[in-house]
Each structure stands twice: as structure tokens, then as C-alpha cells.
Structure 1
Amino acid sequence: MSGILLVDKPKGSTSHDVVEEVRRKLNQKRVGHAGTLDPFATGLLIVGVGSATRLLEYLMNHRKVYRVRMRLGLITDTFDITGKIQEERPCNATKEQILEAINSFVGTYVQVPPAYSAKKYRGERLYELARQGKIIRLPPREVTIYRIENVEIEDLFVSFIVETSLGTYVRSLCMDIGYKLGCGATAVELRRLSVGPFRVEDAVDVYALTPEELTKRLIPMSRVLDFPKVWINDEAVKKTLDGMKIRLNDIVHYEPFEKDSIVQVFNNDRLICLARSERRSTFLKTLREHERNEAILKPFKVFKEN
């Protein structure tokens, strides 16, 4: 049993809790997720089951869209409402000033990760170290805010939708907006709406569904990635699964691809492997004309079961 499960994580559960629930219900040891959601956050969590856990790394770089609600004038140690209040300040900014501050973060900027996060430092998660009184300050990193829209302002509460790059902390973004306004801010609600092409509207509640229902909602591995596709003949399957290079005569059909790019290799509807291209697809026609059965693809991740 392998595939991707789109989960609508409820508030209060950790991403690990969701993984454990899927393991228990599907009786599968190999279960993982692509991108942690904080316990106070809800929304889309992508879970891989079986061989599909090996695809999760390629889903990490997708853009993510969130809906967030923040409270101006409140500062906590975690940058969200679950943390200890450090300070309360008045906020006298006008709606125009708030809008200007929010929109000023669209683009690339340097962000400091919160001390309470799931990032690891020397093998331990930052939130575990922070709870022991060991506050680790990680170096700032560049993140990208692609868009901010649907801004709603109601007294000290502000909500908006934001599209972010990998590694962006929306809690930190809220705090940065608050600092720019001179009053600080804390995230009080956070919901992940999408990860790349995957939408929370298609997600399920793993706690409510039966194992049979969860199994039916698994997305096949063949439909997960967006790399170019190449199809090989039946005779080439075994040697490909053994890691041997895919040659011109093994290929029956292909989508355009560039040299040194990742491609998905199929036999009918089955995903056989991921491979690195040693030629660009436009050169294959020339090789056929000259009857040169050269190596085209080098497998680096094969799927003997999926």
C-alpha cells in the first residue's frame, strides 16, 4: 500500500500525531509528512504512505498558502497565542498604515526563525530545547512572500491570505509586521490552504474516517509529482528496477525534458523510478535516425513496490 494522503489537520494535534494515527489505522510503518504544521495551526498536511514517503522531499519546495489572523499589540515568546505573553503595547496605527506595513513584506526579505519551532539544532527540535530553557537563536534566512491579499482589519485583529516560499514562518511574519508598526503582533489563528497543486478542500479528517475510507483516499504515486514523464517497454522494466541505465531503445514515449533534469519513468500506469537525464529529449530523434542506442536516463530512485 503506497500513496499520498491529504489531511486536514485539526487544532491541537501535532503533525506527528497525525502520522501516528495514519500508521495505526492503515497498519503501515512507513508513514511521513511533507512540512510540519504547528499544533495550534490547522489545514493541509501532506502525508506519504509506503513507498510514497520517498516522494515527500520533492513536495517540500512547493509554495504554500495560508490564512492567518493576528492580534496587534501582543507579544509572546512563541509568536503565537499558545505562548507566554511577554509584553502588551498600544497600537495607534491607522488602517492605511497597517495595510502599508503588511504589503511592504511582499517580495524577498530576511526572516529570523522563531526560537519555538520544529527545526532541529544538533539533533533536537528547537521547541524541545526552548522548553528546557535553552533558547537557540538561528541565523536569519531569506524567504519570499509571493502575495498577500484579502486583508481584513477589525480593531486589533488583522487577517489575510499569504503565499510563501519554503522555510517561511508565518508566525515570524506576523511579528515582523507588528515590529514595523511599533507594537508587535502575535498569530492567533493559522490555517494552511494549499501546498503547490494540493488543496485543503480535498483533504480528509484522519480521526473520523475508517481504514477502508482512508485507503480509498490515497493518491497514487503516479499522480503526485510534476516532473516530465517517460514511458519504457516491458522488457526494460526489470533492468531499470535493478538500477541499470535506460537506453534509447527502451523508451516508447516521452514528454520533453532537458539534460540533467529529473524525469519520472513509467511502464503503463506504474511509476518505475525517478531518473536523471543524460541527454535532452530533442536529441532522441537524431539518435534514432543514426540507430545509436545510447544511454538516455540514469535511475537514482527505483520503486519495486507501489
Structure 2
Amino acid sequence: MSLSGILLVDKPKGPTSHDVVEVVRKKMNLRRVGHAGTLDPFATGLLVIGIGNATRILEYLMQHRKVYRVKMKLGLITDTFDITGRVEEERPCIATKEEIIQAVNSFVGTYVQIPPAYSAKKYKGERLYELARQGKIIRLPPRQVTIYKIEDIVVEDLTVSFIVETSPGTYVRSLCMDIGYKLGCGATALELRRLRVGPFQVEHAVDVYTASAEELSKRLIPMSKVLDFPKVWIKNEAREKVLNGVKLQVDDLLNYEHFEKEDVVQVFSGEELVCLARAERRSNFIETLLRQQRNEIVLKPLKVFKEN
């Protein structure tokens, strides 16, 4: 059986997220490898990689909150919003330390952010940083983002560092620029490191450039331990039914956690995650169906995980 699972990678500065995926693909001699939540070449830190069937659950991991450590310089404006770009303007910054800290903290909450033109986001199939290198600057529409928390703010002259927790889709480089604009001087990110994606921490990540294929295999997190959707356990005889994409009925269930109608649930056969399913009934209603001996449909398979 082919490998499946989640690999936590500590991406170095320089490579693209796709470059890191290619390293994993070649080292482990696997075709099905992908990542959840791109890191720009400039950034370092936690990159969540899916292998085998786990590539099919990456979309759910992209919805997690992210935590970053960032260092920025006030009074410096570049075309990429980070230090790798072309300097467009330098302005004096006359704000006091207290005013800088106040400006940083003022962004906690929800606001409308303009994505940087130079980023790993795609436009018509091409990465924006590739288009920018060709001299084609694409301006994306503003989007609403949420800054949940900012802490550990350190101000040293014009250099400011802090740790920030964001909603998915937030650009920390844009946040730096927005803070700079609020202070009237602009700002550019000097360093950016992703520390956490949901429950996953960079402390548990591996350097794929130095690790062996055997070590990477050992570091895989099983799919059964990755998602936080409600769990349902089915009878042994229902396993083939699931693998063929057939809807599950009351009599197929062995045990279950609480879930609501329309929830995504994890379906287990023993300890094996065999599929993700959409609930067509509330779990509280199952007892009623049992009492009335109504063997009705409860779950509709969404993603079935057959052996590769």
C-alpha cells in the first residue's frame, strides 16, 4: 500500500512551495504530493504537505488560522512589500515608540486588505511573482481579512517585530505596509516566518533538504489524526459499501460523535479513515430512527480513500 499522510516541513528562504513539494516527490519517489497554504519564496517556516490520499484533505487544512513572526522596517517602500523588491521610496518616520505600538495594535480585528501584486497567489493560472518578474503587475481586488491577535511587539529605531495570528488568505507583507501607511511613512517586511497552521507547529517540522526518505516517511502524520470533524464508526460489513461510494444507513453505524445535518464527518472502519461524508441527518435523530426501526440514509460519502 502506498504512503499517505501529512508532513510538516520547515521551508527555508529562497525556494518556492512548489520547489519543496518537488524535493519531497523525488526523495520519496511519489507522484501524489501537494501543499496546503503557499509560502512565498521570501518567507520561511511551516509548510503543510499532503502525501498520497492526504492530498485530498488539504483543502480543509487551508481554512486554519495562521501564526507568523514578522520583522519590518518603517520608512522603506518596495514594489513587493518585502526587502527582496525594488526600493520605490524612502520616507522619514517621526512616530514615537508608543505611537508605533498603538498603530500595530490598531489592526487587530477585521479590515479590508489589498493583496500585494508580488505574491504566490495565482492569476489566470500564473503565480503573481512570476508575472511581476516579467514586468506585468496585476492588482487583485481588496479582500476582508481578520487579525486575531498581535503580541510580542519590539521596536528598535525603525525596525519593528511582532507575532501575529491571522485568518487564512491574509498577507502579512500587506499588513506591514498598511501599518506603515497609517504611520505616514510606509513599511517593508524584512523577515517573515510561519510558526503555526491551526494545530500544527513549526517546532515539529522537518528540513526536507537534509532529511532522508526514510526519515520523511517516519514523520508522516496519519490522516486519521489530522482533521477535527466529528467521527463516525461503521460496521465491518459496511466498509466495502463506503469504498464504492454508497450512502450509509442507520444500520451501518457502530458508534458516532455528535454532528448536525450538513456537517462533514470522518467515517472510520476500526482505526482506518475510509471517507469523509456529508451528514443528511442530525446525530440526535438517529436514536429516533432506531426506535422506529427506520433504516434511513444518514451519511453521503464526499471523499472516499481507497488504497493507492
Within-5 A mapping of 1:2-13 = 2-13=4-15
Within-5 A mapping of 1:221-300 = 221-300=223-302
Within-5 A mapping of 1:144-223 = 144-223=146-225
Gaps of 5+ in 1: none
**In structure 1, C-alpha distance between the alignment counterparts of 2:126 and 2:205, rounded to whole Å:** 30
**In structure 1, C-alpha distance between the alignment counterparts of 2:106 and 2:181, rounded to whole Å:** 13
Within-5 A mapping of 1:34-113 = 34-113=36-115
Aligned-pair CA distance for 1:271: 0.6
Amino acid at match of 1:271: L
The SS at the match of 1:296 is strand
Aligned-pair CA distance for 1:229: 0.3
Aligned residues: 306
The 4+ residue runs of structure 1 with deviation greater than 6 A are none
Aligned-pair CA distance for 1:131: 1.5
Amino acid at match of 1:21: V
- Structure 1 match to 2:142: 140
Identity of aligned residues (%): 75
Aligned-pair CA distance for 1:11: 1.3
1:35-72: CA deviations, max 9, x gaps?
11111211100000011000100000100000000011
**In structure 1, C-alpha distance between the alignment counterparts of 2:9 and 2:125, rounded to whole Å:** 27
Amino acid at match of 1:112: I
**In structure 2, C-alpha distance between the alignment counterparts of 1:138 and 1:288, rounded to whole Å:** 53
**In structure 2, C-alpha distance between the alignment counterparts of 1:245 and 1:128, rounded to whole Å:** 44
**In structure 2, C-alpha distance between the alignment counterparts of 1:154 and 1:305, rounded to whole Å:** 54
**In structure 2, C-alpha distance between the alignment counterparts of 1:142 and 1:247, rounded to whole Å:** 41
**In structure 2, C-alpha distance between the alignment counterparts of 1:58 and 1:230, rounded to whole Å:** 18
**In structure 2, C-alpha distance between the alignment counterparts of 1:123 and 1:57, rounded to whole Å:** 18
**In structure 2, C-alpha distance between the alignment counterparts of 1:265 and 1:208, rounded to whole Å:** 36
Amino acid at match of 1:302: V
The SS at the match of 1:23 is helix
The SS at the match of 2:82 is coil
Correspondent of 2:34 among 32, 38, 43: 32
**In structure 2, C-alpha distance between the alignment counterparts of 1:42 and 1:122, rounded to whole Å:** 26
The SS at the match of 2:290 is helix
1:95-145: CA deviations, max 9, x gaps?
111011111111000000001011122222211111111111111010000
**In structure 2, C-alpha distance between the alignment counterparts of 1:121 and 1:45, rounded to whole Å:** 22
1:160-216: CA deviations, max 9, x gaps?
000000110000000000001011100001110000000111111111111111100
Amino acid at match of 1:229: K
**In structure 2, C-alpha distance between the alignment counterparts of 1:130 and 1:187, rounded to whole Å:** 18
Amino acid at match of 2:54: A
Amino acid at match of 1:149: E
Amino acid at match of 1:47: I
**In structure 1, C-alpha distance between the alignment counterparts of 2:13 and 2:248, rounded to whole Å:** 47
The SS at the match of 1:227 is coil
Aligned-pair CA distance for 1:289: 1.0
**In structure 2, C-alpha distance between the alignment counterparts of 1:129 and 1:26, rounded to whole Å:** 31
1:216-250: CA deviations, max 9, x gaps?
00000101110000000110010111111101011
1:237-270: CA deviations, max 9, x gaps?
1011111110101100100000011000000110
**In structure 1, C-alpha distance between the alignment counterparts of 2:132 and 2:11, rounded to whole Å:** 24
Gaps of 5+ in 2: none
Correspondent of 1:14 among 9, 16, 20: 16
